[in-house]
Amino acid sequence: MNKKFSAATVAFLCFFSTVVAQAPKYSNEFLNIGVGARALGMSNSYVTSVNDVTAGYWNPAGLLGIKNQHQVALMHSEYFAGIAKYDYGAFATRLDSTSVLGLSLIRFGVDDIPNTTELIDANGNVDYNRITTFSAVDYAFLVSYAKQLKIPGLRLGANVKIIRRKVGDFAGAWGFGLDAGAQYDYKKWKFAAMARDVTSTFNAWSFNLSEETKQVFLATGNEIPENSVEITLPKLLLGAARKFDFNEKVSLLAELNVDATFDGKRNVLIKSKAVSLDPHLGLEASYMNVIFLRAGLGNYQTYTDALGKKIKTFQPNIGVGVKIKSVYIDYALTDIGDQSVALYSNVFSIKVDINKKVK
């Protein structure tokens, strides 16, 4: 039995090492942008304190923080001067006093891209009427479930993810993955762990190129893509948070998160071949739980300029929010981290509680 176990262990480690070596570092990156202006204003430092419908994305265990029977959320943001558009919608409902079900849909896409692969006809003539347009779109559909355990302060949750990526009529992929999360309250502190793509997420790509397009690829020195499988490796998010009440009206929430990746050295604050750690900090000041001011720091990176000098950068985020009865309206101003061009994105989101509060 021990020999069989050892052989199986070695085989698994060999397989895992091969997968890590072949898997790309950056896969399904649209799922790492974040959802909800509240979280983005806090630099995505949110896996611990999340307690609303957006927990389906951040940490499904946080769905148990919903106080009403139902809750919905919508968000829209644009990147790169409006070229790329990011949309999000979610719905959560209480099944009973100890469990919540959530549904989330994410779309990230660039539309109306000119297709010039057939600009020149068979006779070598340029014909602008042959230009068409297409979209490069990524979709993610998440089904989330959260459960309150009998252990005081402990909540668990899980996601089932279905991925659809499409590049016009040229290429498409279907993917499937799982997430698992937990939150734990200890006295005045809150702790959380979120394992994304815990079993690895697999995207199966298929390509459909016309013979004319293939000839263009060959003539321009490009490789003709083949059907393949793209793997997203597991990622662990850890967090700790605490809320400080200064008086009955004013409070401050502080949360520190650390994103741990295991796919080799990344350009983050703490990096090694075994594990890379990307810390980020978020703050939220509230007045009577009606008006909110937020700020965050994250995305620490180092790059070398034209003179060979190493420069460290970070991503600052700020945001505001207001609660009007059962409606939450949030705004965040985020910098993508490239301070040389100062590309900022405006993010708006809305969240609505529906039906009476759960007793």
- Report domain extents, the chain: 2-357
Give the long-range contacts of residues 32-36, CB within 8 A, separation 24 or more. 33/86, 33/108, 35/73, 35/75, 35/88, 35/90, 35/104, 35/106, 35/349, 36/73, 36/75, 36/88, 36/330, 36/349, 36/351
CA 75 distance to own-chain centroid? 14
Residue type, 118: E
d(CA 91, CA 53): 6
Q: State the Cα torsion 122-123-126-129 to the nearest 10°.
A: -50
Per-residue pLDDT of the chain (359 residues; tens, 9 = 90+): 444 444 443 333 333 333 443 456 678 889 999 999 999 999 999 999 999 999 999 999 999 999 899 999 999 988 877 888 999 999 999 999 999 999 999 999 999 888 887 777 777 788 788 788 889 999 999 999 999 999 999 999 999 999 999 998 888 999 999 999 999 999 999 999 999 999 899 999 998 877 767 777 777 777 777 888 888 899 999 999 999 999 999 999 999 999 999 988 888 989 998 899 999 999 999 999 999 999 999 988 888 877 888 888 888 999 999 999 999 999 999 875 444 444 678 899 999 999 865 55
| CA 195 and chain centroid, separation | 12
Residue 68: strand, helix, or coil:
strand
Q: Using CA atoms, how far apart are residues 207 and 336, in angstroms rounded to an integer?
A: 31
The amino acid at residue 147 is K
Stated pTM of the model: 0.85
2-357: CATH topology: Porin (2.40.160)
Considering all CA atoms of the chain, what is the largest pairwise distance in Å, rounded to the nearest integer? Answer: 79
C-alpha distances in Å from residue 100, one per residue of 143, 196, 217, 290:
11, 19, 50, 25
Contacts (Cβ under 8 Å, ≥6 apart) of 222? none
DSSP state, residue 129:
G
The CA radius of gyration of the chain, in Å to the nearest whole number, is: 23
Asked if 232 and 203 touch (Cβ cutoff 8 Å), the reply is yes
